């Protein structure tokens, strides 16, 4: 069973749904989830907010925060994940933001990534410093986002 399939099975066992708010991964995370047969039982959808203004306009990220920090920030990831929960009407919202390259963005180095997972009990944000090609960084971010979701929903 793949990590994505295991995550979806765990969500189904809890009766929970999931949705994504993606920047860095550009829809790759929700694609990895819906690649699993039967995903429609728990995956409601995803928002690709690649442009900074969409993070505020669609996902409700605080505009002042975006102006102060830029889009690659742990608090932006947190707002995005919570926005996914609200906009998509899901139990679990997962967000990705960062710089995949090939060049730094707004003074932020390539490989700087933030993943956030919002569940009913709170939000977990994981900062990452990744290396490799643009594709490597996006693929590893997707893998780590799925793993962080699995940890966030684990029954203690």
Q: Given this model, what pLDDT does residue 1 score?
A: 80
Q: Do 32 and 7 contact (CB within 8 A), yes or no?
A: no
pLDDT tops 80 at residue 99: yes
Question: 103-126 pLDDT, tens per residue?
Answer: 999 999 999 999 999 999 999 999
Is the sign of the CA dihedral 72, 73, 79, 84 positive or negative?
positive
Q: Do 110 and 102 contact (CB within 8 A), yes or no?
A: yes
**How many other C-beta atoms can be found within 10 angstroms of the C-beta atom of residue 138?**
23
Instruction: DSSP letter for 6, please.
Output: H
- To the question of pTM greater than 0.85 for the whole model, the response is yes
CB under 8 A, 24+ apart: contacts of 55-62: 55/23, 55/79, 55/80, 55/83, 55/97, 58/83, 58/87, 59/21, 59/83, 59/84, 59/87, 60/86, 60/87
Q: Do 86 and 10 contact (CB within 8 A), yes or no?
A: no
Confidence band for 33, pLDDT divided at 50, 70 and 90 = very high
CATH architecture of 3-153: Alpha-Beta Complex (3.90)
Q: Map tokens 């102060």 to a residue.
A: 68
Nearest to 149 by CA among 120, 116, 127, 101: 116
pLDDT tops 70 at residue 84: yes
Rounded to a whole number of angstroms, the distance between the first and last alpha carbons of the chain is 22
Q: Do 18 and 44 contact (CB within 8 A), yes or no?
A: yes
């Amino acid at each position: 069973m793949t990590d994505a399939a295991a995550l979806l099975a765990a969500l189904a066992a809890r009766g929970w749904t999931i949705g994504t708010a993606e920047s860095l991964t550009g829809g790759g995370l929700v694609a990895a989830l819906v690649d699993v047969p039967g995903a429609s039982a728990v995956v409601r959808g995803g928002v690709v907010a690649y442009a900074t203004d969409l993070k505020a306009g669609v996902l409700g990220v605080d505009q002042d925060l975006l102006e102060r920090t830029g889009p690659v920030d742990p608090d932006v990831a947190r707002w995005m994940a919570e926005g996914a929960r609200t906009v998509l009407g899901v139990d679990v919202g997962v967000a990705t933001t960062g710089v995949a390259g090939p060049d730094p963005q707004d003074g932020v180095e390539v490989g700087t990534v933030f993943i956030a997972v919002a569940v009913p009990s709170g939000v977990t944000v994981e900062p990452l410093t990744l290396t490799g090609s643009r594709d490597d960084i996006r693929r590893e971010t997707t893998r780590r986002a799925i793993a962080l979701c699995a940890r966030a929903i684990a029954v203690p």
